[in-house]
């Protein structure tokens, strides 16, 4: 691997960190890494790998929207509840940096569900379901990122002539 490719791999690793700690747009960073490689290679292979990466990226984003959202709708968790949960996460993220992001979302989901249902158990159930959906979302995003990184590594190590 050339030094530029190692830097691109480090850039992609930063994207993976951005997925786990949702501070950076992690999956987009990984895709940009693939674009950077295509730009440095200036070859058909580089652009084909980037095009395939963009397709896998689009599929991953579509799955992020479809699968967790479907689970939430089936369980009766409203979209407005999720929006309020995200807003609570953002507000608490400013009030209590970093930790507030992780506390605000479940707290917002719980409070909105409790206000709607007046049943603590059901509100806790909605909160657990929302947290599982977030976890599933992260897993889908990680799987997509690792697929993009694998395409880059195979292309850089195996398919690129020395």
SS3 track for the chain:
CCHHHHHHHHHHHHHHHHHHCCCCCHHHHHHHHHHHHHHHHCCHHHHHHHHHHHHHHHHHHHHHHHHHHHHHHHCCCCHHHHHHHHHHHHHHHHHCCCHHHHHHHHHHHHHHHHHHHCCHHHHHHHHHHHHHHHHHHHHHHHHHHHHHHHHHHHHHHHHCCC
Residue 160 in this model has a pLDDT that exceeds 80: no
Residue 144 in this model has a pLDDT that exceeds 70: yes
More confident residue, 96 or 57: 57
pLDDT score recorded for residue 65 = 85
Lowest mean pLDDT among 32-41, 70-79, 137-146: 70-79
pLDDT score recorded for residue 12 = 97
pLDDT score recorded for residue 89 = 87
Q: What is the mean pLDDT of the chain?
A: 90
pLDDT by residue (tens digit) across 14-65?
999 999 887 789 999 999 999 999 999 999 999 999 999 999 999 999 998 8
pTM for this predicted structure? 0.82
More confident residue, 68 or 27: 27
pLDDT category, 151, cuts 50, 70, 90?
A: very high
Residue 156 in this model has a pLDDT that exceeds 80: yes
């Amino acid at each position: 691997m050339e030094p530029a490719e190692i830097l691109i791999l480090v850039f992609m690793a930063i994207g993976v960190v951005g997925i786990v700690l949702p501070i950076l747009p992690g999956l987009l960073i990984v895709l940009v890494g693939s674009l950077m490689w295509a730009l440095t290679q200036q070859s058909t292979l580089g652009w084909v790998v980037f095009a395939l990466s963009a397709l896998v990226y689009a599929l991953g984003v579509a799955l992020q929207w479809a699968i967790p959202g479907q689970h939430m709708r089936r369980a009766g968790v409203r979209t407005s509840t999720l929006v309020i949960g995200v807003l609570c996460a953002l507000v608490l993220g400013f009030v209590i940096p970093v930790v507030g992001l992780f506390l605000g979302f479940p707290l917002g989901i719980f409070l909105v569900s409790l206000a709607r249902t007046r049943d603590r158990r059901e509100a806790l159930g909605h909160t657990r379901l929302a947290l599982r959906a977030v976890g599933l979302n992260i897993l889908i995003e990680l799987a997509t990122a690792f697929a993009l990184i694998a395409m880059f590594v195979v292309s850089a190590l195996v398919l690129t002539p020395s």
